Amino acid sequence: MFTKNALLYVCHMRFLNHIIWRVQRRALKIGRWIFKNIHPAFNGDWFLARRMDALIREQGIQTAVETGTYLGQTTRWLARRIPSVHTIEIQEKFATKARQSFRKFSNIQLHIDNSPNALRELIPKITSPVLFFLDAHWYDYWPILDEIQEIRKSGIRKCIIVIHDFFVPHSDFGFDSYLGQPLDLAYVTPALDEAFGKQQWKYWYNTRATGWNRGVIFIEPLPLENQGEEKAAHKE
Ligand SMILES: C[S@@+](CC[C@H](N)C(=O)[O-])C[C@H]1O[C@@H](n2cnc3c(N)ncnc32)[C@H](O)[C@@H]1O
């Protein structure tokens, strides 16, 4: 009798363990699927995704330019909302992976280049209003100031510039720093003043973040009194 009960007990436990193991595996699979498909853009920051969604609609954004493609998660998110998306990646290995995931998107153009070079080539050909999502970094050369300079040279004003990994005062959001220089307002202000004029641009920060919990700055040039000053090279 004792042996029979012990055997039954073992069988039950093995069956229970098997069920638990299967549930765990399924949960893991679902988790991975959610991470890959639901909110992978913007490092999983769905507060930022929501804010960007609103901006795109409010501003009637026609073109997005992303610097730093990496695996293309944010690119694909942008391409679902914006008629034309350009993304720039310096590393061939990331670009190759990203390209595979862009097969279903006819509105994405991938440029394999150093971001300021690619911006110089493509900005004169794009339609505004433009959303610039500046997110190229990780290596010794930090292209952010040169990227702003290329936007300045183009004369474009109908745009929103979003810089990821930015220092947000009075927050615990993560931000970039290179050789002791934080990516903060003081660092980009001279370039923005040169691009759009002193006090001719406004900015605001993200106030909530999730995912990798990174800081973000949004920059919008104020409209010029004489809109004719915007370079004719841009199709409106
Ligand atoms: C933080 S990841 C970009 C993440 C991507 N924007 C996203 O939201 O999923 C930074 C990327 O910038 C690329 N990068 C770094 N320097 C660059 C440069 N000068 N020009 C173009 N891409 C650059 C890196 O190779 C890397 O893939």
**pLDDT tens, N- to C-terminus, the chain (236 residues):** 667 777 788 778 888 888 888 898 888 777 666 655 555 899 889 999 999 999 999 999 999 999 999 999 999 999 999 999 999 999 999 999 999 999 999 999 999 999 999 999 999 999 889 999 999 999 999 999 999 999 999 999 999 999 999 999 999 999 999 989 999 999 999 999 999 999 999 999 999 999 899 999 999 999 876 544 444 333 33
Q: Which atom of ligand 1 is nearest to the CA of 143?
A: 19
pTM of the model: 0.83
Helix (H, G, I), strand (E, B) or coil at 3: helix
| Domain spans in the chain, listed from the N-terminal domain onward | 1-38, 40-229
| DSSP one-letter code for 44 | H
CA pair distance 14, 98, nearest whole angstrom: 43
The CATH H-level superfamily of 40-229 is Vaccinia Virus protein VP39 (3.40.50.150)
CA pair distance 27, 197, nearest whole angstrom: 53
3-state helix, strand and coil shares in percent for the chain, rounded to the nearest 5:
45, 20, 35
CA pair distance 144, 192, nearest whole angstrom: 11
Does residue 187 line the site of ligand 1, with CB under 6 A?
A: no
For ligand 1, pick from 91, 102, 117, 148 the residue to mutate: most ligand atoms within 8 Å of CB. 91
Does residue 230 line the site of ligand 1, with CB under 6 A?
A: no
- Two tokens at 182? 């934080």
Nearest-CA residue for ligand 1 atom 24 is 68
Nearest-CA residue for ligand 1 atom 19 is 114
Angle at 34 between CA 29 and CA 39, to 5 degrees: 155
CA pair distance 188, 142, nearest whole angstrom: 12
> For residue 105, what are the contacts with CB-CB under 8 A and spacing of at least 6?
76, 79, 85
Does residue 156 line the site of ligand 1, with CB under 6 A?
A: no
The rounded Å distance from CA 138 to ligand 1 centre is: 7
